């Protein structure tokens, strides 16, 4: 048994090392990590969970060094109405589906909020505001995590099949995929322009965590306050530096390249966090509800993009 365990640990380390090289792409890293965890088990569960959170934040900040700060401001300004309407509509639809499937109220709210804004970050911010229990948070995160993996693999395939431009795909990925990690991973496989647009739109959208959790606090009469994730501030700072200090563009480009490789490592770690216990814990009804909500949202957004409405 110790020999087998050591071999599994060695194989995990080797695959993790490959993620540092150009041999492993974002989508492949996620799939390999998930397959390894489901078949052999993750020998470094605590490490992968902790490291993936910090590395994702670092990667997102680094990606900001390829973004024009003025573009971030323009995206936020031009998409103001779309953002408010879409987030509110998704949360409202989620509430209806929660009632239809007779789900636990808090679980339904967390899934809806995660779908509407930015997956795990939104769920983590909303949970204390609505006083969600640990198992309710775990179920919501588990369901969203599974759909993130599906989205990362499925969206680029659909995008190529429909001949979406990089601008169209970046926008669709940012509005329809839950977590920032999967948005960045899917768009990175589609193209550099798609990655830039998707990252900018997603992180601009993520800033709406604060007003929506504040409103939720009023309804739930909660004293808990959510704060804006610091990695979003870091991303904006990196974009600001890239825009107004162009003389050092070679340095910013190098940091951005490092960030892209860090993202590959992060996606492997996130994938290796998947397990049969997570699948079982999520349950059938929350998964069906979340999947139906996600299909409706991503389908409607895709149609609006194809028709030129957004």
Report the distance separating Cα 228 and Cα 212, nearest Å: 12
pLDDT band of residue 229 (cuts 50, 70, 90) is low
* Cα distances (angstroms) measured from residue 277 to each of 44, 97, 290: 16, 25, 18
**Domain span including residue 293:** 2-306
Q: How far is CA 145 from the centre of its chain?
A: 9
Report the distance separating Cα 208 and Cα 133, nearest Å: 23
Kindly report the average pLDDT of the chain as a whole number: 84
pLDDT value at residue 125 = 78
Report the distance separating Cα 300 and Cα 305, nearest Å: 9
pLDDT band of residue 281 (cuts 50, 70, 90) is low
Tokens of 74: 């323009």
Domain count for the chain, please give it: 1
226/182: higher pLDDT: 182
pTM of the model: 0.73
- Whether residue 72 contacts residue 204, with contact meaning beta carbons closer than 8 Å, is answered with yes
Q: What is the DSSP track for 203-253?
A: HHHHTTHHHHHHHHHHHTT--------HHHHHHHHHHHHHHH-GGGHHHHH
Of 147, 133, 126, 122, the closest CA to residue 34 belongs to 147
Side-chain-side CA neighbours of 305 within 13 Å: the count stands at: 22
Q: What is the pLDDT of residues 192-221, one digit of tens each?
A: 888 888 888 887 888 788 788 888 777 776
Alpha helices in 19-44 (DSSP H): 26-39
Taking 80 as the threshold, does the pLDDT of residue 170 lie above it?
A: yes
Q: What is the pLDDT of residues 23-78, one digit of tens each?
A: 887 667 877 887 888 888 888 888 887 888 788 778 878 888 887 888 778 877 77
Q: What is the pLDDT of residues 100-124, one digit of tens each?
A: 998 888 889 999 999 998 887 788 7
Taking 80 as the threshold, does the pLDDT of residue 94 lie above it?
A: yes
pLDDT value at residue 278 = 61
pLDDT band of residue 292 (cuts 50, 70, 90) is very high
- Which residue is it, tokens 């499925």? 154
Report the distance separating Cα 273 and Cα 37, nearest Å: 7
Q: What is the pLDDT of residues 107-166, one digit of tens each?
A: 899 999 999 988 877 887 788 888 887 778 777 877 887 888 788 889 999 999 999 999
Q: What is the DSSP track for 106-170?
A: HHHHHHHHHHHTTHHHHHHHHHHHTT--HHHHHHHHHHHHHHHHHHHHHHHHHHHHTT--HHHHH
pLDDT band of residue 279 (cuts 50, 70, 90) is low
């Amino acid at each position: 048994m110790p020999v087998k365990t050591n071999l599994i640990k060695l194989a995990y380390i080797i695959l993790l090392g490959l993620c540092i090289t150009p041999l492993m792409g974002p989508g492949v890293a996620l799939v390999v990590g998930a397959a390894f965890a489901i078949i052999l088990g993750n020998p470094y569960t605590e490490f992968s969970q902790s490291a993936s959170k910090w590395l994702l934040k670092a990667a997102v900040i680094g990606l900001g060094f390829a973004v024009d700060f003025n573009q971030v401001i323009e995206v936020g300004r031009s998409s103001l109405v779309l953002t408010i309407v879409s987030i509110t509509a998704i949360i409202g639809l989620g509430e209806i589906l929660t009632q239809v499937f007779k789900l636990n109220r808090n679980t339904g709210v967390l899934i809806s909020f995660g779908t509407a804004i930015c997956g795990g970050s939104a769920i983590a911010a909303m949970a204390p505001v609505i006083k969600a229990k640990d198992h309710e948070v775990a179920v919501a995160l588990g369901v969203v995590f599974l759909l993130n993996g599906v989205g990362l693999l499925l969206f680029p395939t659909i995008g190529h099949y429909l001949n979406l431009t990089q601008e169209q795909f970046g926008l669709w990925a940012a509005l329809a995929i839950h977590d920032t990690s999967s948005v960045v991973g899917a768009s990175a496989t589609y193209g550099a322009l798609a990655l830039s647009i998707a990252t900018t739109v997603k992180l601009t959208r993520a800033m709406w965590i604060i007003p929506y959790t504040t409103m939720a606090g009023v309804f739930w009469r909660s004293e808990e306050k959510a704060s804006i994730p610091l990695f979003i501030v870091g991303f904006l700072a990196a974009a600001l530096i890239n825009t107004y200090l162009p003389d050092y563009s070679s340095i910013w480009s190098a940091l951005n390249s490092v960030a892209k490789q860090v993202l590959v490592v992060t996606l492997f770690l996130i994938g290796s966090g998947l397990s049969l216990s997570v699948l079982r814990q999520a349950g059938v009804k929350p998964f069906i509800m979340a999947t139906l909500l996600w299909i409706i949202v991503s389908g409607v957004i895709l149609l609006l993009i194809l028709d030129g409405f957004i």
